[in-house]
Amino acid sequence: MNRLRAWLRRLAGIVPTQQQEREFSAELESHVQLHIDDNLRAGMTPKQARREAILKLGGTESTKQAHREGRTIPFLQTMIQDIRYALRQLRRSPGFTITAILMLSLGIGASIAIFAFVDAALIKPLPYADPTRLADVAEHGVAFPRSNLSYLDFRDWQRLNKVFTSLEAYGGWGYLLQTPSGVEPVTAARVSDGFFRTLGIRPILGRDFYSGEDQPNAPATVILAYGAWQRRFGGRKDIINQTIALSGTPTTVIGVLPEDFQFAPRGSAELWTTFHEQINCEKRRSCHNLFAVGRLKDGVSIQTAQTEMAAIAKQLEIQFPGSNRDQGAHIGSLSDLIVGKIRPILLVLLAGACLLLIIACVNVASLLLVRSESRRREFAVRGALGASPSRLIRQFITEGFVLVAAGTFAGLVAGAFAMCLLLSLVSKDMLSSMPYLVHLGLNSHVLLFAAAIALLAAVIFSLTPILRLPTAAMREALNEGDRGSAGTFWRRLGANLVVLELTIAVVLLVGAGLLGKSFYRLLHVDLAFEPDNLSTLYVSLPTTTYNKDELIVTGAHKIIDRVSTLPGVTSVAITSVIPTNGNGNTDWIRIIGHPFHGEHNEVNEREVSASFFKTIQARLIRGRFLTDRDDATRPRVTVINKAFADKFFPGEDPIGKKYGNGDLAPDSIKEIVGIVDNIRESSLDEEIWPAEYKAHNQDADSYFGLIVRTSGDERSILPAVAAAVHQVDPGIGTTDEQTMQQRISSSQTAYLHRSAAWLVGGFAVLALLLGVIGLYGVIAYSVSQRTREIGVRMALGAQRGTVYQLILREAGLLTAIGITAGLLCALGASTLLRGLLFQIRSWDISTLVLVAIVLGAAALIASFIPARRAASINPVEALRAE
Amino acid sequence: MGDKTDVWQGTLALMVLKTLESMGPLHGYGIARRIEQTSGDILSLNYGTLYPALLKLEQEGAIASEWGVSENNRKAKFYKLTRAGRRQLNQEARNWEQTTAILARFLAPSEDAS
């Protein structure tokens, strides 16, 4: 206890107070006075008495010093002294300090921001109970390695498997919800009864689905997502057991999910219901609309589960050859499903940020080296005056730590800012598919990471100048003459560091060039339609009123007619899926007259209005487009795309040919009337699939996309289009209002490519800048060290041109080595990028050449300035100065 | 220097505590004189070393100080023993007695030494 108390008091004593100092002076004075009194009484002269008293005390100053040290902790005290001295030193050279802190904060800020994303997406476990045991369960089709699961298959899998403790399905859905501002389509998800129990999620209010609540005879119930509960129902607790109308069906609210609940595959779902109301698709084994999540039994690996589920799928294939031909099983980990796509990009970005950090550290280290060089004499003098080597080293370490502390603090601020900026660039839709990014921030992981970086940097920065100052040689430094040799040492080390910087800059530049080029190619991929001036939205007709195909068709026509009257609108069309949305919504076809063995010929299936091709300005290759006369009263017709013709009719004329579904059901037979160019239905980086365009008039769906071509601004007309749709029937819901260009540039593919290209591009520019500054520093320092040599050369008759050559050759050599090493490393590094590249090889010659030219030019400019200075040296002054 | 000082500081602290116990509140000079006198002037104390010892004892809470006036009307800082200090004194005195007793037994001329 006493020890502790003493320590605390000494700790408090670190803050030096004048009062303590004064008090002790007074005490000593009274001590001396008392002693003098005694001595006088013993018969000494006053002078003698005073002398004897002070002698006996052992000197006032040394006593004071001993007392002072006793008051505090000497180690901390000197540390504070060192810090104050370091701060004073840094203040004295603000240029150095600001540059160093700026570079450090840049490197640290960038790596912290990226690390925060990595942490949120890849390091933190998914917010479910024991998330590593959760598996993503799907079917495996010929065209899709991971395809939707059919409801009937799911039930069989659930019943037959022995690898999962539970296997539950989920699927996307939408409801029309009556709100004060009209009918709104609300994103929902339908799940099997044990879905939340499998994830290990419990509602914070109300209850989970009972088992059996997903059966057709069960009452309709819904669980609300927390956000929906807050936003749509005001967070009222009495919402439980109330009945709300979902697309006209009275449904009881039974629970509310926790605020931090997230399920990325259905990230935007606001309402969670069960499969109790079976839709048509779920009655057919050939219709695939679900995915599933399973909890692996203890000791069962993903591979074991894959083998077992594949065997079950095989069994079903034998049992149901028509629907299940080639339908295998796909089992993966749930975390791969959720973050698999973003993982390579984040890792590339993290690598980029770390390279930038290395450059920044190297630059600061070189600055420190230069500084230690110019401070050799100062330290030699301090050493000569009696500072111990350990104390001098401590001074370096303190300065390194002070720099790093300032840099880290600034870096944290910059990093937090960068995080907000990056997050604000993510669109809301995108964020709903990456819900794990919501809790992004300066959490303990990120702070720990920052601390680790800071510690590493501090060690590097305190070691660099110490290496430079072998204590034994310190006395020699007092001697002016040995400057030359010291300069060579530094030049060699500095040069190596600069080559490293330039190498890293080349790697980053090449990476950025490749990513930028693939992003450009992605945005300029051939669409085979004209995307400008198109406004788009999705329309959902309430099935309670529009319960017959004829009603849907008339409704759709009313909408087209109404929207066509808007000013500026030149053409209006509908399609079941708006182009560039992605491959999917497929049909299995069988061509009449072609051999058929039950294989699944998968084609994209789109139902479009007659005006569709004209509106998006697609090119007709042969035959004719659909017309409004192709309605339910006439034989079914389709237009196919070029890929369809190439794949299924090689060397044949498809026009007039007929095809249907696998068993050629009479109502599925269609005649091909035209061939259209390969309209990009797939997302930008996917391949073009065969596609069929059926007449919406002949095969109507109550949910469809509306595409409007305007002569004016396509963005400003969007609200008017939505309003016009509501004028047709206020019960109609509209959603996802965007221009076609927005769809293209905000698609996930484009987003991922864009963010990768921009961020790596940013890193590369910074790296180029820092690398070139580093080169400038080295050359400038070399010139300043060689002033005398250059002076001698000029005095002996060297021309200015020769001096330029001398300096530029030195810079050119460093740059050439840096570029060569960089290009070699870039070749290796860019093969790692391969997965992120689009229509570009990882050894794209033009990118490599361009990078070499850019870096070479920048390096030339950076070394030209010191070369100019060298050439303008006045030989007389240069010689006199030494 | 270190070890020796520590031992010295330890014994010095004990002497200070004992002095304060027998004499009551006393200023630094008085304590120093008293220690010298008690030792029969064998110990020649550098008075300056007393003050860090006093400071340490005060930080540990064994003694407390306040300003007062000396017998010959000089302002001086007086130290007095606290209750914790009294406990510490008893404890350390016992330890010291034990140590010296053991050492004495070691140093006593052994019977079979010849």
DSSP track, A503-565: HHHHHHHHHHHHHHHHHHHHHTS--SS--TTEEEEEEE--TTT--SHHHHHHHHHHHHHHHHT
What are A482's two structure tokens? Answer: 């040995």
- Mean pLDDT by groups of 10 residues along chain A of 882 residues: 72 73 87 89 88 85 82 77 86 86 91 91 87 93 85 94 95 85 85 95 94 90 94 92 89 93 88 89 87 94 94 93 87 90 86 89 83 76 79 82 92 92 78 79 90 90 69 49 52 76 90 91 90 93 86 94 94 94 86 86 92 95 92 92 94 93 87 95 89 92 93 92 92 89 85 85 89 83 80 85 87 91 89 83 89 92 87 78 56
Q: Please state the ipTM of this predicted complex.
A: 0.85
Determine, for residues B60 and A37 on separate chains, whether the beta-carbon distance falls below 8 Å.
no
Lay out the sheet containing B26-27: strands in order across: B26-27, B75-81, B63-69
d(CA A11, CA A39) in angstroms, rounded, equals 39
pLDDT at B5: 38
Determine, for residues A30 and B60 on separate chains, whether the beta-carbon distance falls below 8 Å.
no
Tell whether A57 is within 8 A of chain B (Cβ): yes
Q: How far is CA A271 from the centre of its chain?
A: 28
If one counts every other C-beta atom within 10 angstroms of the C-beta of residue B75, the result is: 15
pLDDT digits (tens, 9 = 90+) for A18-62: 788 888 888 888 888 888 988 888 888 889 988 888 888 888 888
Cβ-nearest to B48 among A3, A38, A59: A59
**Closest to A223 (Cα-Cα) out of A247, A251, A245, A256:** A256
Asked whether the beta carbons of A253 and A240 are under 8 A apart, the reply is yes
Asked whether the beta carbons of A338 and A152 are under 8 A apart, the reply is no
Integer Rg of chain B from CA:
16
DSSP states along A402-429: HHHHHHHHHHHHHHHHHHHHHHHHS-HH
What are A334's two structure tokens? Answer: 């749930």
d(CA A693, CA A671) in angstroms, rounded, equals 11
Question: Which residue in chain A has the smallest CA separation from B61?
Answer: A2
Question: Phi and psi at residue A574, in whole multiples of 5°?
Answer: -125, 150
Mutate to test the interface with A, among B60, B79, B91 (most CBs of A within 10 A): B60
Tell whether B85 is within 8 A of chain A (Cβ): no
Tell whether B86 is within 8 A of chain A (Cβ): no
Give the total number of structural domains in chain B.
1
Question: Which residue in chain A has the smallest CA separation from B87?
Answer: A2
Cβ-nearest to A58 among B47, B55, B77: B47
d(CA A173, CA A289) in angstroms, rounded, equals 10
d(CA A799, CA A807) in angstroms, rounded, equals 13
Determine, for residues A2 and B75 on separate chains, whether the beta-carbon distance falls below 8 Å.
no
Asked whether the beta carbons of A518 and A753 are under 8 A apart, the reply is yes
Instruction: Tell me whether residue B112 is in a domain.
Output: no
Question: Which residue in chain B has the smallest CA separation from A38?
Answer: B72
E-state strands within A130-283: 134-140, 149-150, 164-179, 182-191, 205-206, 221-224, 243-246, 249-256, 271-274
d(CA A222, CA A241) in angstroms, rounded, equals 10
Instruction: Establish how many alpha carbons lie within 13 A of residue A802's alpha carbon, considering only the half-sphere containing its beta carbon.
Output: 10
What are B85's two structure tokens? Answer: 């200090």
Cβ-nearest to A31 among B28, B56, B84: B28
d(CA A720, CA A564) in angstroms, rounded, equals 11
Q: How large is the angle between the packed helices A18-41 and B50-60, nearest 10 degrees?
A: 130
Cβ-nearest to B52 among A34, A38, A67: A67
Instruction: Tell me whether residue B55 is in a domain.
Output: yes
Question: Which residue in chain A has the smallest CA separation from B48?
Answer: A57
d(CA A519, CA A714) in angstroms, rounded, equals 24
Range of the domain at B84: 2-107
> How close is the nearest chain B Cα to the Cα of A387, in Å?
20
Asked whether the beta carbons of A576 and A701 are under 8 A apart, the reply is yes
Asked whether the beta carbons of A842 and A829 are under 8 A apart, the reply is no
Burial class from Cβ neighbours inside 10 Å (0-12, 13-18, 19+) for residue A438 reads: middle
Mutate to test the interface with B, among A7, A8, A20, A34 (most CBs of B within 10 A): A34
Biggest CA pair distance of chain B = 61
Sequence spans of domains, chain A: 2-72, 75-129+341-478, 142-326, 488-525+746-882, 542-731
pLDDT digits (tens, 9 = 90+) for A52-80: 888 888 888 888 888 888 777 777 777 88
Question: Which residue in chain B has the smallest CA separation from A11?
Answer: B59
Q: How large is the angle between the packed helices A483-523 and A845-871, nearest 10 degrees?
A: 150
d(CA A408, CA A454) in angstroms, rounded, equals 6
Determine, for residues B74 and A6 on separate chains, whether the beta-carbon distance falls below 8 Å.
no
Tell whether A37 is within 8 A of chain B (Cβ): yes
d(CA A140, CA A746) in angstroms, rounded, equals 29
Question: Phi and psi at residue B26, in whole multiples of 5°?
Answer: -150, 150
Give A582's DSSP letter: -
Determine, for residues A6 and B56 on separate chains, whether the beta-carbon distance falls below 8 Å.
yes
What are A574's two structure tokens? Answer: 């509908």
Between the CA of residue B111 and those of B105, B108, B114, what are the distances in Å? 12, 9, 8
**Closest to A662 (Cα-Cα) out of A590, A593, A587:** A590
Instruction: Tell me whether residue B32 is in a domain.
Output: yes
pLDDT at A780: 82
If one counts every other C-beta atom within 10 angstroms of the C-beta of residue A724, the result is: 22
- Token pair 């010659």 is found at A845
Chain A residues in contact with B51 by the CB 8 A cut-off are: 24, 27-28, 63, 66-67, 70
Chain A residues in contact with B6 by the CB 8 A cut-off are: none
Chain B residues in contact with A67 by the CB 8 A cut-off are: 51-52, 55
Instruction: Tell me whether residue B113 is in a domain.
Output: no
Determine, for residues A56 and B27 on separate chains, whether the beta-carbon distance falls below 8 Å.
no
> How close is the nearest chain A Cα to the Cα of B73, in Å?
10
Burial class from Cβ neighbours inside 10 Å (0-12, 13-18, 19+) for residue B72 reads: exposed
Pairing relation of β-strands A658-660 and A670-676? antiparallel
What are A382's two structure tokens? Answer: 């301090």
Determine, for residues A57 and B48 on separate chains, whether the beta-carbon distance falls below 8 Å.
yes
Q: Identity (one letter) of the amino acid at A107? A: G
Determine, for residues A57 and B55 on separate chains, whether the beta-carbon distance falls below 8 Å.
no
Tell whether A2 is within 8 A of chain B (Cβ): yes
* Cβ contacts of A579 within 8 Å, gap of 6 or more: A527, A529, A616, A679, A680, A681, A740
**Closest to A692 (Cα-Cα) out of A738, A637, A731, A733:** A637
Tell whether A74 is within 8 A of chain B (Cβ): no
In CATH, what number is assigned to the domain containing residue B67?
Answer: 1.10.10.10
Asked whether the beta carbons of A275 and A226 are under 8 A apart, the reply is no
Tell whether B5 is within 8 A of chain A (Cβ): no
Determine, for residues B51 and A28 on separate chains, whether the beta-carbon distance falls below 8 Å.
yes
Instruction: Tell me whether residue B89 is in a domain.
Output: yes
Question: Phi and psi at residue A175, in whole multiples of 5°?
Answer: -125, 155
pLDDT at A491: 58
Tell whether A874 is within 8 A of chain B (Cβ): no
Tell whether B105 is within 8 A of chain A (Cβ): no
Cβ-nearest to B55 among A33, A35, A71: A71
Q: pTM for the full model?
A: 0.75
Tell whether B46 is within 8 A of chain A (Cβ): yes
* Cβ contacts of A874 within 8 Å, gap of 6 or more: A791
Between the CA of residue A794 and those of A79, A487, A871, A872, what are the distances in Å? 49, 21, 9, 10
Tell whether A703 is within 8 A of chain B (Cβ): no
Instruction: Tell me whether residue B114 is in a domain.
Output: no
d(CA A645, CA A622) in angstroms, rounded, equals 11
d(CA A333, CA A312) in angstroms, rounded, equals 19
Chain A residues in contact with B74 by the CB 8 A cut-off are: 30, 33-34, 37
Question: Which residue in chain A has the smallest CA separation from B71?
Answer: A34
Tell whether A67 is within 8 A of chain B (Cβ): yes
Determine, for residues A56 and B62 on separate chains, whether the beta-carbon distance falls below 8 Å.
no
Q: How large is the angle between the packed helices B50-60 and B2-23, nearest 10 degrees?
A: 70
Tell whether A19 is within 8 A of chain B (Cβ): no
Beta bridge mates, A137: A292, A331
Question: Which residue in chain A has the smallest CA separation from B57?
Answer: A6
Chain B residues in contact with A3 by the CB 8 A cut-off are: 60
pLDDT at A482: 47
Chain A residues in contact with B60 by the CB 8 A cut-off are: 2-3, 5-6
Cβ-nearest to B72 among A23, A28, A37: A37
Asked whether the beta carbons of A791 and A138 are under 8 A apart, the reply is no
Question: Which residue in chain B has the smallest CA separation from A60?
Answer: B48
Dihedral sign for Cα A277, A280, A283, A288, please.
Answer: negative
If one counts every other C-beta atom within 10 angstroms of the C-beta of residue A493, the result is: 17
